[in-house]
Structure 1
Amino acid sequence: MNETTDSRMEAACSLLAKSKRRYVLYQLAQDESAHIEDLVTQVAAWEHDESVDRITGETRQRTYVSLVHNHLPRLADYDIIDYDLRSGDIVLAEGFDDIKPLLEQFKQTEEEPELRERPLL
């Protein structure tokens, strides 16, 4: 591997090290796009091991802030997703294909069976 490949691999591993970013990508890999409100609810449910209908407003708010101020911008910086907070639309970008094999490996190590069984596009 060359230096560029090494740094891209390190960046991909760093991005996928955080469960919230993986959860975002698992959901987007299933549907290719999502609305921020639906994504927040699903990520919060997986993170707290709850069903989506049991997620409280406070939990949703904390997850929303974390996604909007940290995780979504990081994924967008690496061209893995595109998002528009005004419309709430989030879609996979071209860079997703580069990390898809690594995401598949991470998926197989998730504790939650539902996550391990979700197909990636």
Structure 2
Amino acid sequence: MTATSQPDPDCVDFVLAVLDSLDTCEASAETVDEAFGLLADQRRRLLLEVMRAFDEPLTLPDAAEEVAVRETGSPVPSISAERVHETYISLYHDHLPRLVEAGLLEYDQERDLVSPTELE
């Protein structure tokens, strides 16, 4: 097998750091795979980042707007309503249910409110 491009040193360093941390982790292989699966998508990581940053319940439209801001690197007035709507739909139908099922977030559908999970 012949490499066609140079490896990203930041990525290599990150992977090695993660592997080092896994050496001291007592999680099962299945748990590690599940965690990496949850974190594999950038939009899910950004939603978790938003919820950690605010550390309080947000409406899903507000959370979608914050995720869109982080995805684009643009301020809210520069982001189209269509982009925020697409982000909302993606969060509602795909990413949020996965994070709720994993116990990382809570969702009150009646109020359209996303909350960080109260971990003990």
TM over 0.5: yes
Deviation at 1:94, TM superposition (A): 4.7
Alignment match, 1:66: 90
Matched residue SS, 1:50:
coil
| Greater displacement, 21-30 / 68-77 | 21-30
Distance 1:76 1:5 in 2: 21
Distance 1:94 1:5 in 2: 23
**Alignment partner of 1:79 is 2:103:** yes
- Percent of matched pairs sharing the same residue: 29
- Structure 1 segments of 4 or more deviating over 6 A? none
Matched residue SS, 2:28:
helix
Cα deviation per residue 1:4-51 (whole Å; 9 max; x = unaligned)? 721111111111111111111111112222211111101011112211
Matched residue SS, 1:90:
strand
Structure of higher RCO (CA pairs closer than 8 Å, 6+ residues apart): 1
RMSD: 2.1
Q: Tell me the number of residue pairs that the alignment of Structure 1 and Structure 2 aligns.
A: 95
| Greater displacement, 80-89 / 69-78 | 80-89
- Extract unaligned runs of 5+ from structure 1: 98-121
Deviation at 1:84, TM superposition (A): 1.4
Distance 2:65 2:42 in 1: 15
**Alignment partner of 1:17 is 2:40:** yes
Which AA in structure 1 matches 2:52? A
Cα deviation per residue 1:69-94 (whole Å; 9 max; x = unaligned)? 00000001111111012202111125
Query: How do 1:1-121 residues align onto structure 2 when only pairs under 5 Å count?
Result: 5-32=28-55, 33-94=57-118
TM-score normalised per structure 1: 0.70
The answer on whether the counterparts of 1:79 and 1:94 sit within 8 Å (CA) in structure 2 is no
| Pair member with larger Rg | 2
